[in-house]
Amino acid sequence: VQLVESGGGLVQAGGSLRLSCAASGFTFDDYAIGWFRQAPGKEREGVSCISISDDGSTYYAESVKGRFTISSDNAKNTVYLQMNNLKPEDTAVYYCATLPQYGSRCPTMTSDDRDYWGKGTLVTVSS
């Protein structure tokens, strides 16, 4: 199982980035995929989650609603996080992870170290 994040970088406040999470080694639509972030000195927090199925339900943290959009390309086994109107407080390392397709963990963006995780991509937003 492998998850590889890409697309991070340095951007000014108000700018945009699109993160990608490329998955391999498992049946993509058996899982949900979540995006999480961890800023220096802070705990990891859930950002967004998408159920990889015909339903395609999406969930967002309150802090990113209206600014971030999660989507998936099932043919490419890839999940994207489009981030617009970025703020300095969005600065963090962003990780993607597998979550159970069903249950409460995707809607609540609850992480577990036993899930499959990528190595992360750094997003830095300057003021």
Please give the chain's pLDDT, 127 residues, in tens: 999 999 999 999 999 999 999 999 998 888 999 999 999 999 999 999 999 876 789 999 999 999 999 999 999 999 999 999 999 999 999 999 999 988 899 999 999 999 999 999 999 999 9
Number of Cβ within a 10 Å radius of residue 108: 13
The three state secondary structure string of 29-98 is HHEEEEEEEECCCCCCEEEEEEECCCCCCEEECCCCCCCEEEEEEHHHCEEEEEECCCCHHHCEEEEEEE
CA 16 to chain centre: 15
The three state secondary structure string of 85-125 is CCCHHHCEEEEEEEEECCCCHHHHCCCCCCCCECCCEEEEE
The pLDDT, as a whole number, for residue 54 is: 62
Identify the H or E element spanning 2.
strand 2-6
Tokens of 75: 């043919």
Whole-angstrom distance, CA of residue 46 vs CA of residue 38: 9
**24 SS3 class:** strand
| Angle in degrees, CA 24, 65, 31, rounded to 5 | 25
